[in-house]
Amino acid sequence: MNKLLILLFLFGINIKLVNAAEAVPGEEEILTCQDQADVFGNGKSDDIISKFCLELFIKQSPPSARVEFPSGKIKFYGYRNMIIIEKESNNRRVKEIIAGNSTELKSIQALAFDENNKEIVALDESGEVLSFTTTITGNIAPYRILRNKEIEGASELVIDYTRDQIIVNNKKTKKILFFSRLANINGRKGKQRLMVLKTINTLGNELTNLSIDQVKSELNAVDSSNRKILIAPLE
């Protein structure tokens, strides 16, 4: 009888340990990691983001904020105020980070990689699109910041590097918006290019997975019935 009780007791402990390992991270843990990202590279504290936080933010990053190439050589993950770049270097996998107060990142909603210009572009909950070089990482300022009230509530974006455009899908307003890739709130007066170049109304469709077919010069998406549809030919 005593042996049975001991076995049941140990079995119960094992279940608790398994459940704890599989537990969903709480907001407190996420905020702790967010705080590490906030002070990263500010010269006043340790420039360290723990392995736990890196893995947590990779796991928590939404599909819209993941860019993974079929070759697997480089991957991008965005969550809250951090961009994580995972790539091969000297025959090993390394992680590089874009985070810190200079980045102006607050809560990343989506990422897009401009392979032609070697830039990672982040759609932030603040209603801004921030473009960063990928040749330098750390606590770096964005190359450009696109700010327009039409972006607020947007959920994904793609880069059309052949036409130098940023295309944003705002499911909240049912609009797909086209902007200049070179738009910059910090540009010279008259050269900021912040205006909407083109708008496509998507009323009646719940569009996701925005993508560009560069060969056919087409903008595609998937509607709520999981059918791929042509949104518009790119001009």
The domains found in the chain, sorted by start residue, are: 28-233 (2.130.10.10)
pLDDT at site 50: 95
pLDDT at site 159: 96
Distance from the Cα of residue 34 to its chain's centroid: 15
pLDDT at site 5: 41
Whole-angstrom Cα distance, residue 39 to residue 209? 33
Which residue is it, tokens 């982040």? 122
78: Cβ–Cβ under 8 A, 6 or more apart, which residues? 61, 65, 66, 84, 108, 110, 111, 122
Q: In what order do the strands lie in the sheet with 66-68?
A: 66-68, 74-79, 82-89, 92-98
Average pLDDT score over residue span 190-214: 91
Q: Which two tokens stand for residue 29?
A: 């843990």
- For 53, list phi and psi in degrees, rounded to 5: -65, -40
DSSP assigned state of 205:
-
Instruction: Quickly count: other Cβ atoms within 10 Å of residue 179's Cβ.
Output: 23
Tens of pLDDT, residue by residue over 63-92, are: 999 998 767 789 999 999 999 999 988 888
Whole-angstrom Cα distance, residue 111 to residue 89? 22
Q: Which two tokens stand for residue 206?
A: 């719940």
pLDDT at site 186: 93
pLDDT at site 15: 43
DSSP assigned state of 187:
S
Q: Which residues pair with 89 in a beta bridge?
A: 92
Full-model pTM: 0.86
Is the pLDDT score of 45 beyond 90?
no
Is the pLDDT score of 163 beyond 90?
yes
In 3D, which of 120, 117, 183 has the Cα closest to residue 151? 183
Structural contact between residues 179 and 129, judged by C-beta atoms closer than 8 angstroms: yes
